[in-house]
Homo-oligomer: A and B are copies of this chain.
Amino acid sequence: MNIATNLILGDCKEELKALDDNSIDLIVTSPPYADSRSKTYGGIKPDKYVEWFLPISKELHRVLKPVGTFILNIKEKVVKGERHTYVIELILALRKQGWLWTEEFMWHKKNSYPGKWPNRFRDSWERLLQFNINRKFNMYQEEVMVPMGDWAKGRLKNLSETDKIRDTSKVGSGFGKNVSNWLTRDKAYPTNVLHKATECNNKSHSAAFPEWLPEWFIKLFTQKNDWVLDPFSGSGTTLHVAQRLRRNSVGIEILPKYHMIAKERVKLHQRQLLMAA
């Protein structure tokens, strides 16, 4: 089956209107943060952020299937020595709009920006907010299982015999039995913390959105031939990954420069597929 990878040049607030209702399985995106990228996105003021985002999320709600998921990568900036509240206000506003705030994953960044300040440490994490339309949504947990390695060594080996016995009796037959099951396995389910690095390429453009990020969520929330949407696709990282994983995808980007880069990436991949065939 052919995989579609559609790139649209324009403002997602408008371009989303062309997409069908209930047509997308996963939305994963990293919108411009407040006040950043001011030259390209017009620099949304923190106080106006929620107001700016809501019309867009309304369209996202419309195009997402009831069993679909919306992943939002975002982090509030510091304003006058305080964390600004626009992100948590956005969560409340999205719930009012009909979204369920299912989970908040955390991206623990291995390599955070350097610097030293008198009253603050380096910011080393970002939010990965999960929203859904329905309490029942598609999730394929086995697809993101991780090698047991360190985790098993660190945790389970430290379980003393008394611990095992105590916990076993506490839960009846459940827990102790499970522990022995875990010990024999070589893969474990991950947690809601993603401890990974940003990609800092020397290349032409910066990749604040590393490939592992959309990849993890695409595997977790979609199957092959499903549809993935990134309304702020930038240089097309999400689409590139979707294409590689055999998912259909739609990307919208307002800046011609990034749009062109994304198009090149898609074309390159298609040519590679032809060569291989």
**Residues of A near any B CB (own CB < 8 A):** 80-83, 85, 88-89, 91-92, 95, 100-104, 106, 108, 110-112, 114, 116, 118-125, 135-137, 139, 141, 154-155, 158, 163, 178-179, 182, 188-193, 195, 200
Describe A's contact surface by its main secondary structure.
mixed
Given A85-B95, A192-B122, A192-B124, A80 and B135 contact (CB-CB distance below 8 Å) = yes
Q: How far is the CB of A96 from chain B (nearest CB, A)?
A: 11
How many chain copies? Answer: 2
Q: Provide the residues of chain B in CB contact with A92, threshold 8 Å.
A: 85, 88-89
* A154 touching B111, Cβ below 8 Å: yes
Distance from A221 Cβ to chain B, minimum over Cβ atoms (Å)? 11
Contacts A118-B139, A192-B121; is A102 near B81 (CB within 8 Å)?
Answer: yes
The interface residues of chain B lying within 8 Å CB-to-CB of A104 are 83
CB-based nearest B residue for A191: B124
On whether the beta carbons of B108 and A195 are closer than 8 Å, the reply is yes
Q: CB within 8 A of A123: which of B158, B191, B200?
A: B191
A178 touches B121 (CB 8 A): no
Q: Is the Cβ of A121 less than 8 Å from the Cβ of B91?
A: no
In the complex, the answer to whether B155 meets A111 with C-beta atoms within 8 Å is yes
In the A-B complex, the 8 residue pairs with the smallest Cβ-Cβ separation, listed nearest first, are: A124-B191, A88-B88, A81-B135, A124-B193, A122-B191, A111-B155, A121-B192, A106-B125
The distance from the CB of A276 to the nearest CB of chain B, in whole angstroms, is 31
- Expressed in whole angstroms, the minimum distance between the Cβ of A77 and any Cβ of chain B is 12
A189 contact from B83, B91, B116, Cβ within 8 A: B116
CA distance A196 to B187 in the complex (A): 22
- Can you give 7 A-B contacts (C-beta < 8 A)? A81-B100, A82-B102, A102-B120, A103-B120, A111-B158, A119-B137, A125-B193
* Beyond A88-B91, A112-B191, A116-B189, 15 extra complex contacts between A and B, CB < 8 Å: A81-B100, A82-B101, A82-B102, A83-B101, A85-B95, A102-B119, A106-B106, A108-B108, A111-B154, A111-B155, A111-B158, A119-B135, A119-B137, A122-B192, A124-B192
List, in ascending order, chain B residues with CB within 8 A of A85's CB: 91-92, 95, 101
Bound together, the chains give a CA A114 to CA B106 distance in angstroms of 18
Q: In the complex, what's the smallest C-beta–C-beta distance from A277 to chain B, in angstroms?
A: 36
For A195, what are the chain B residues with a Cβ–Cβ distance below 8 Å?
108, 195
A80 to B192, CA, bound (A): 18
**Residues in B whose Cβ lies below 8 Å from that of A163:** 200
Question: A182 — which chain B residues lie within 8 A by C-beta?
Answer: 114
Contact residues in B for A108 (Cβ distance below 8 Å)? 106, 108, 193, 195
